[in-house]
Amino acid sequence: MTGSRSPRAHDAPVPNEALLVRALQGVVRRGGDGQLPAFAATLGLPAPAVAAMRRRYWPQVMQEPAEAPADATSASITVLPKDFPALIGLLLQHRAAGVEAQAADWLAHAMAAACFGEHHLWEELGLQGREDVSCLLHAYFPDLYHKNTQNLRWKRFFFAELGAARGDAALRPPGCSACDHFALCFADDDKARDD
């Protein structure tokens, strides 16, 4: 093994790894500092998965004591939003063939957790803009990326997909109503109601 890269299961590719790491770190950081719900600090993952992710992508910040209580990271997992598992499932059912399953799983958790914030998805992920989210979706979940034919904001699109699957066209991301850009993102809803 050369460099500082960690070995990967089955040597499957991890596309846009730097962008992936930035998204994972962004959600963990925002969950830890209260900008996202507390469960986002662990991406809603069990403690062993969180530890594996940290060892792989940012071992220099592994500051938890080795004897940390077993429930230290799982405490926030007990309060997962109702739609969180469904969002993860939506993303993973569209996982690209050939990308590393573990990286895709971590990204699905990060994106799903970020959907429960009050800002644009790219902001909750700690990315530079919507194009970064699109890049990750195209690389890891391309079929889902291509389903967004109306070019909806990603958070809105994910909940629209969940709502369509459940027969609930009114399903919306929970934090969007608090965002300053709500009228911009949901402007066509007002037009549809006026028709």
Length of the chain in terms of residues written: 195
Q: Give the model confidence (pLDDT) of 69-101 as tens digits.
A: 344 444 445 689 999 999 999 999 999 999 999
For residue 38, pLDDT beyond 50: yes
The whole model's pTM is what? 0.81
For the chain, what are the domain ranges?
Answer: 10-194
For residue 130, pLDDT beyond 70: yes
- Check residue 59 and give its pLDDT: 75
- Check residue 186 and give its pLDDT: 53
Say how far apart CA 123 and CA 81 lie, in whole Å.
20
Is the sign of the CA dihedral 159, 27, 21, 131 positive or negative? Answer: positive
Say how far apart CA 104 and CA 118 lie, in whole Å.
24
- What's phi and psi for 33, nearest 5 deg? -100, 10
